[in-house]
Each structure stands twice: as structure tokens, then as C-alpha cells.
């Protein structure tokens, strides 16, 4: 089972749009997550966003780079960035994404080069 949390112990049910980029030399990669109307920002939720936690049977991947997007003064979305600085980090992230995708019905679309 793979899941994403913004506050430890509270699984976010909204599935994000995820975009991956890799540097030309392959040394640095970036995953950009966009959550439209995530449950953590709802009126009934009082939990604080402390980061983006990606959990699976291998453990936890964490990024603290999470920003809220506001429309007319109300939070509408969360954007998170996860930077990978090695092939090992990229491989670990891809294993998480394979599990998360299988659990949440995500597909992969390759960009035109």
C-alpha cells in the first residue's frame, strides 16, 4: 500500500497530477505534485500541513517544499516539489510511484521531446 500525507497519520485521498523532469545529464530530477482541492484544506480539517510524506512498504520519502495556491483568499490547491539528486533517489521514488499509481489508477504519459 502506498499513500501520501500532508500531516503525519492523515492520508490524503485526493490524487495529484504529477510531473517528472530529469536533467540532461541524469544527475538531478524533479517531481512536481499538484493537488486540486485537497481534503487537508477543507473546512472540517484542522490539521497543519507539515510537508509531503510518501509512504509505502519501503518506508518514507519526505519533502518540505509545499505551497498553497489561493483563489479569492481561499486555499484551492497544494503544490509540492521533490528534488532527487541521485539515481538511487530516482529509483526509490519510481518504486513508490509504481505502487501509488497501482493503488490509485494513475497512468504515465510521456512528454514530446
pLDDT per residue as tens digits for the range 17-47: 999 998 888 789 999 999 999 999 886 667 7
Domain extent for 95: 3-103
**Residue 48 CB contacts under 8 Å (≥ 6 apart), including other chains:** 7
Question: Is residue 108 one of the residues assigned to a domain?
Answer: no
Let me know: does 31 contact 81? Beta carbons within 8 Å. yes
Taking the C-alpha atoms of residue 80 and residue 65, their distance in angstroms, rounded to an integer, is: 6
Residue 97 DSSP one-character state: H
Residue with cell 530529469: 22
Average pLDDT of the segment spanning 56-69: 96
Question: Is residue 13 one of the residues assigned to a domain?
Answer: yes
Question: Domain of 49: which CATH number?
Answer: 2.40.30.220
Q: Express each pLDDT in 78-91 by its tens digit.
A: 999 999 999 899 99
Is 60 exceeded by the pLDDT of residue 113?
A: no
N-to-C CA span, the chain: 33
pLDDT at site 27: 82
Question: Is residue 110 one of the residues assigned to a domain?
Answer: no
88 exposure class (CB count in 10 Å sphere: 0-12, 13-18, 19+) = exposed
Is 70 exceeded by the pLDDT of residue 108?
A: no
Amino acid at each position: 500500500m502506498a499513500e501520501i500525507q500532508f500531516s503525519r497519520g492523515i492520508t490524503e485521498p485526493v490524487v495529484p497530477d504529477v510531473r517528472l523532469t530529469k536533467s540532461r545529464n541524469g544527475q538531478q530530477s524533479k517531481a512536481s505534485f499538484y493537488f486540486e482541492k485537497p481534503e487537508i484544506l477543507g473546512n472540517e480539517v484542522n490539521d497543519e500541513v507539515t510537508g509531503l510524506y510518501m509512504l509505502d512498504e519501503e518506508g518514507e520519502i519526505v519533502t518540505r517544499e509545499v505551497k498553497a495556491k489561493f483563489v479569492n483568499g481561499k486555499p484551492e490547491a497544494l503544490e509540492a516539489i521533490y528534488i532527487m539528486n541521485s539515481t538511487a533517489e530516482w529509483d526509490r521514488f519510481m518504486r513508490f510511484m509504481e505502487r501509488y499509481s497501482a493503488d490509485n489508477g494513475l497512468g504515465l504519459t510521456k512528454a514530446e521531446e
